[in-house]
Amino acid sequence: MSNRLARGSILILIGNIIFRVGGFVYRFLMGQLLGPSSYGILSYTLQFQGILQVLSAGGLPPAIAKYVAEYTAIDERALARQTIYTSLKIMLFLGILFGFLMVFFIAPYLAALNPKMPGLLYPLQAVGFIVPFSVIVGAFRGAFQGVIKMEYILATRATEQISMIIFATLLVLLGYSAFGAVMGSVIGFAASAILSIIIFQKYMWKYVPKPEVEYKFSIYEELKLAKKMIFFAVPVTITALAEMLIFAISTFVIAKLLGDTFTGYFGAADPISRFPLIISTSLATTILPAVSAAFSTKKSKFA
C-alpha cells in the first residue's frame, strides 16, 4: 500500500504541475487571441463553469473514491461496483438538470445582470453543455482514484486539456471569440468522457471484479447506498463551493463594477496565486483512498 501511495502521489504531483502549466498555456493563448475585453468575458464564464461543475458533481467523486477503496479492501465486490453505478446515475441527473438551468435560466439572468459585459450570454450558455460530460468524467475519475490507478486519471486529464487547447484555439481563430473558447472546453470534456468510458470498460474490472455470485440490488438498497454517498458528499460540496467562491468573488465584483476589460487583466494574473496548492492537492488525491482502505480493513478485523 505504501508503494502504491507514494507512486500515486508522485504521478498526481507531476501531472498537476504539467496540467497547471498547460492551463497557463491555454490562458496565454486565449489572452493573446481574444484581447482584454473578450478574455474578461471568458474569465468571468470560467468561474461559473467551475461552480456549476461542483454543483453537478454533488461532491460524489471523492465519495466514490472512498467507498470503492473501502469495499474493495474488504472484498465487497458487489457494493464496490454498485457504488460506481449509483453515483453515476445521481451525477448524470444533476449534470443534465444544471446544464438545462444554465442554458435557459441562469445564463440569461447573469447576462442581463452584467450590462458592462456585452457578448456574455452565449459563452455562459455554452457552459451548460459542459456539465453532462464533466459529471461522467468526474464519476470515473473517482473510481480510478478509489483503486489508486492515478495513471488513468492523468490520461483523461491529458486528453481533456490537449483537446481543449487545440479546439479552443481553432474556434477562436475562426472568429467565435469567447464562445469558441468555451466550446473548446465542451469538446475537451466530451473527449475525456469517451476515454474514461473506454478505460473503465477495458481495465477497471481487473481492480473491481465481478462478485462470484451476482447480486441484484433492490431499489431500497440502492436508495440506502445513495443516501450514504450523499451524506458524505454534501460537506465536500459545501467546502468546494466555499473555496471557489473565495477565489471567484473578486472576479464577480470587478466584472460588475469595471466591466470586461479590467476583468480580463485580473483573470490573467489571478491563477498564479493558486500555484502552491499543487502539492497539497496531489497528496490529498492519493491519501483519501489509501486511508479509507486501511480504515475499513482494520474495522472488519474487529467486527
Contacts of 193 (CB under 8 A, 6+ apart): 133, 134, 136, 137
CB 206 within 8 A of CB 173: no
**Residue % of the chain over a pLDDT of 90:** 40
pTM, full prediction: 0.84
Tell me the pLDDT tens digit for each residue of 160-208: 999 999 999 999 999 999 999 999 999 999 999 999 999 999 988 788 8
| Grid coordinates belonging to 228 | 450514504
| Grid coordinates belonging to 29 | 493563448
| Grid coordinates belonging to 37 | 475585453
Q: Which residue has the cell 481487473?
A: 206
Alpha-carbon distance 7 to 35, whole Å? Answer: 41
Among 137, 120, 106, which Cα is nearest to 263's? 120
Tell me the pLDDT tens digit for each residue of 87-136: 999 999 999 999 999 999 999 999 998 888 888 999 999 999 999 999 99
Contacts of 84 (CB under 8 A, 6+ apart): 64, 68, 139, 142, 143, 208
Which of 198-202, 223-227, 244-248, 296-300 comes out lowest in average pLDDT?
296-300
- 188: exposed, middle or buried (C-beta count within 10 Å: 0-12, 13-18, 19+)? buried
Alpha-carbon distance 44 to 4, whole Å? Answer: 39
Alpha-carbon distance 29 to 152, whole Å? Answer: 27
